[in-house]
Structure 1
Amino acid sequence: MSYMATARKKKLAKLAEDEVPSVGDEVRYAISLVRQGDHRFYTLTMPSNVLAACCYATSKDEDPEHGFQRVLSEKRAQEIADYVDGGGTIPSSVVLSAQSESDFRSVDRSKTAAFKFGPTAFLILDGQHRVFGFAKAKTSLRVPVVVYDGLSKEQEAQLFIDINTKQRPVPKELLLAIKGLAKTESDVEATLSQLFDLFHADSKSALLGWTSSTKKAAQKIDRVTFNVGLRQHLDMFEGKDIVFTYTTFNAYFIAVTSGLRAKSVEASIARKTTFRAFLDVFPDVVQRVQDKYKAKYTADNFAAVISPIFDLTSSTFVNPKSSILDLSMEMKKRLKSGLTI
């Protein structure tokens, strides 16, 4: 082996140890060729700092003619960097399109990819926030990469569309439902999760049949809506156990659903605006139960306090045209109209 060949081999070995190459250097990585129907692409792994230094993305604002990526969020990229530096793992592949200046090619009987290193060697089709998050991270790691070669600008844009329309994110409701399994819940999240599960499954729940545990569903209260509505009131139950908290909220919802049922609009409790508005007035109702019924939080006492709210028209609950805040303000006005000494 010649001196130049030996030196080149040593340089390639050194680059494999996460050294960022110089512009114009030839870089090589082991690859696998994948065929899917009429399409073919290569899979490989690259050090995160090398990847970040040879990729770029263009948004429509930056390049009106050819750009199609979303504008980069520095906040999101930093969150990814913090996650990586905290020991997190991101196994999903970054999808790239090799640009002509990279001279990307397979060698060694398609077992190795060779390309000319440079800041615009690859266009990012999917994963720009991951790539730039890796660039911000102090930790270097190997990143799974998919490389398409020989795509036209039209094909790059179409692939971007396919990736972002055919792949659906996991519903937030499902992520909330399984956080307990991952043991990543905060105390507040754990409390909300327990409350939701009780309302979802307890035979005495006022919301039984009106909740959806793992996804959004029409005419159902999902975990996201439930959590936003109840979270603001958990401080009122400081020092109380989950049974007392659930029993109190349930008594309130028994009163609410009973009032709606009397107007033949019980299903409206599952409308986001109506559900949230009833929760917004919850502290006012609790205060009146404390004053009038010596803090006996029964369904009957709640019902007596909120009865003026149901002087509103049925359509107000079924098809609220106002915002959550506007509807809750209207409810509070009705509560005041029923106040006596």
Structure 2
Amino acid sequence: MATRVKPASIVDLRRHQEGVDEIPADGDEVRYAMSLVRQGEHRFYVLSIPSNVLAACSFATTKDEDPLVGFQRVLDKKRAQDIADYVDSGGSIPSSVVLSAQPDSNFRSVDRSKTAAFKFDPHAFLIIDGQHRVFGFAKAKTAIRVPVVIYDNLTKEQEARLFIDINTKQRPVPKELLLAIKSLARSETDIEALLGQVFDLFHEDGQSALLGWTSSSKKASSKLDRVTFNAGLRPHLSLFDGRDAPYMYGIWNAYFQAVMSGLNAKQVPGAVTKKTTFRAFCDIFPEVVQRVQDRYRSKYIADNFARVIEPVFTLASTNFSSPKTSILELATEMKKKLRAGLAL
């Protein structure tokens, strides 16, 4: 718990820090236990601050603006609310918020560098990294302690440079890897789990039409990743009316066997990994399925799919290998070819 400066022992300070603070009044001096960290020529302070206090003494925009108004202007409210909901559900976010102490905060170390002291003010700290977390913590019903890293005596140029370094040198986890890890964490939605199982069958089964053309956990050149795969199949889940992954895989695999046969004949098998081409073939899937139902009494095998989509491959090879159009435009061209090949 933050402690306003008054006669108090170190024991009292440590005991108070176990709780959650009321927000101090402007001008009060606040103290927290902290550690000094040196990295080469750089040094910063590591401490934890209650979420409500942190939100009340830090800002993300100009000093002339109210902190919460500033937050709302520059941040994604939905993302902040997602963080708040996650915290309220018992979630933990251990990554540190990075702050720059402003001159008016009178930030300093005391008690032989074991304690950080600063003057409480709505603009005591500029948030260098973690704006969404701070605002999300402020919106949460649950008060938590937040790990923070505080730099002191930075110039505006140094603050800007630090912001750039953090936001260019730290890379987000690829979406493809997150989808793969979600299954391990058992945090997938039902749809993500179903699509993940279908993808895994395409990735691992020896009879897969896409064997060797998929990448399970990262975006790779000339490979089909989970993000593109899910985006292609997701719109058509209603066609399967609650069927399981092996059933879905069986039909989709027969379809893509026909697709790959056509692409091989055009000598562009790798075109299936092009996002535009893959998604376009997925977009025409319902129309192709309808024709297989009508012509072949719902016998969903590769040969029947191949007979139906054969007119699509009268398009030039470059339409598949180097598509110059959007997904919708390529799918529209494919559908025109399907209709042109329709015979009664």
TM over 0.5: yes
> How far apart are residue 327 of structure 1 and its match?
0.4
State the distance in 1 between where 2:183 and 2:138 align.
32
Asked if 1:102 corresponds to 2:105, the answer is: yes
State the distance in 2 between where 1:51 and 1:216 align.
38
Residue identity opposite 1:94 in structure 2: V
- Show the counterpart of 2:51: 48
> How far apart are residue 96 of structure 1 and its match?
0.2
- Show the counterpart of 2:3: none
Q: 1:261 aligns with which of 253, 258, 264?
A: 264
> How far apart are residue 7 of structure 1 and its match?
11
Q: 1:275 aligns with which of 273, 278, 294?
A: 278
> How far apart are residue 8 of structure 1 and its match?
12
**Per the alignment, do residues 337 and 151 of structure 1 end up closer, same or farther by CA in structure 2, a change over 3 Å counting?**
same
- Show the counterpart of 1:200: 203
> How far apart are residue 183 of structure 1 and its match?
1.1
TM-score, length of structure 2 as denominator length: 0.92
Deviation string 1:114-155 (CA, Å, 9 cap, x unpaired) is 000010000000000100111111110010000000100000
> How far apart are residue 257 of structure 1 and its match?
0.6
Residue identity opposite 1:223 in structure 2: R
SS of the residue corresponding to residue 31 of structure 1 reads strand
Which blocks of at least 5 consecutive residues in structure 2 are unaligned?
Answer: 1-5
Q: 2:222 aligns with which of 219, 222, 227?
A: 219
SS of the residue corresponding to residue 20 of structure 2 reads coil
> How far apart are residue 71 of structure 1 and its match?
2.2
Q: Conserved in 1, the CA contact under 8 Å of 2:194 and 2:244? A: no
- Show the counterpart of 1:138: 141
> How far apart are residue 241 of structure 1 and its match?
2.9
Which blocks of at least 5 consecutive residues in structure 1 are unaligned?
Answer: none
Q: 1:299 aligns with which of 298, 302, 318?
A: 302
Q: Conserved in 1, the CA contact under 8 Å of 2:20 and 2:144? A: no
TM-score, length of structure 1 as denominator length: 0.93
Asked if 1:312 corresponds to 2:315, the answer is: yes
State the distance in 1 between where 2:8 and 2:302 align.
84
State the distance in 2 between where 1:106 and 1:11 align.
15
Structure 1 segment 1-341 matched on structure 2, within 5 A: 5-6=7-8, 17-58=20-61, 71-341=74-344
State the distance in 1 between where 2:242 and 2:25 align.
61
Residue identity opposite 1:133 in structure 2: G
- Determine what percentage of the aligned residue pairs are the same residue: 68
> How far apart are residue 9 of structure 1 and its match?
9.5
SS of the residue corresponding to residue 116 of structure 2 reads strand
Q: How many residues align?
A: 330
Alignment RMSD, CA only? 2.0
Q: Conserved in 2, the CA contact under 8 Å of 1:265 and 1:317? A: yes
**Per the alignment, do residues 220 and 8 of structure 1 end up closer, same or farther by CA in structure 2, a change over 3 Å counting?**
closer
Q: Conserved in 2, the CA contact under 8 Å of 1:277 and 1:327? A: yes
